[in-house]
Each structure stands twice: as C-alpha cells, then as structure tokens.
Amino acid sequence: MVFMKRLGIAALLAAAGLALAGCSEVTNAVDQTNKAATKVGACAEALSLTDLNPDPATIKERAADKEKRLRELANSVGEQNVASALTGMADSYLQVQKENIQDAGKIADWTKRNLDRIEALRKVCA
C-alpha cells in the first residue's frame, strides 16, 4: 500500500514536471510570436513614415514627429539590429531639422542617405 502511494506521488510529480515544461515551451513560443509581431509592426510603421520624395516646404515641420516616432519604435523593438536601423532613420530626421533643407542639392543628398537607411531597415526587417 505504501509502495502504491509513493508510485502515485512520483507519477503526479512527473506529470506536474511535464506540465510545467509544456507551459515553459508555450510561454517561449508566445514570447517569440510577440517579439516577431512587434518587429513586423515597427518595421511596417517605420517604412510608412519615410519620405522618398520629400516636399521641401513641409519636411522640416514633419521631421520632428517622424524622429520622435522612430525613436519610440526603436525602443519598443527587442532586436538590436532593428533598433539600430530605426535609430539611424530617426537621426536622419534630426539632421533635417538642423539643416537648411530648402537647397535642392541638400534635399538630394538627404534623400540618398535616407534611401540607404531605408534599405538597411528593409534588410534587418526581412
């Protein structure tokens, strides 16, 4: 009778251990899914914020909002390479705020640099 109780307790402990291991795997899978969703969402939003053909009349006034949002996205993403790409894009919009961007040559230079940063973001988001 005592043997049967010990066997029952051992079986119960083994089942609990398996259940906990299963919970851990489920938790890890949920965490990975949430991180992927955050990355995808951040990448999609960042790409929608970009200016491929900036309007010199409005780029400066919109740059502060874009810079702020890109930094928020960078802080929300767990992957360092994605966060770095987002920060690089935010820095680009900070640069726009500081420069006299009305000059066509400066707009072209900034657009080229921005396209490079967009390409870097696309690579890390893929």
* Spatial CB neighbours of 83, under 8 Å, sequence gap ≥ 6: 74, 75, 77
pLDDT tens, 103-122? 778 888 888 888 898 999 99
Residue 59 lies in a domain: yes
Count structural domains, the chain. 1
Does 2 have pLDDT greater than 70? no
Residue 85 CA to residue 121 CA, distance in Å, equals 5
Residue 122 CA to residue 2 CA, distance in Å, equals 65
What does the block give as tokens for 20? 């906990």
Residue 18 lies in a domain: no
* Spatial CB neighbours of 61, under 8 Å, sequence gap ≥ 6: none
Domain range enclosing 82: 54-125
State residue 6's pLDDT score: 54
Tokens 């072209």 correspond to what residue? 108
Which of the pair, 35 or 102, is modelled with greater confidence?
Answer: 102
Residue 32 lies in a domain: no
Residue 98 lies in a domain: yes
Residue 34 CA to residue 120 CA, distance in Å, equals 23
State residue 3's pLDDT score: 44
* Spatial CB neighbours of 77, under 8 Å, sequence gap ≥ 6: 38, 39, 42, 83, 86
Q: Is the pTM of this model over 0.85?
A: no
pLDDT tens, 36-81? 557 888 898 988 888 777 777 788 888 899 999 999 999 999 889 9
pLDDT tens, 7-30? 455 555 555 555 555 565 655 544
The proportion of the chain whose per-residue pLDDT surpasses 90, expressed as a percent, equals 24
* Spatial CB neighbours of 117, under 8 Å, sequence gap ≥ 6: 85, 88, 89, 92
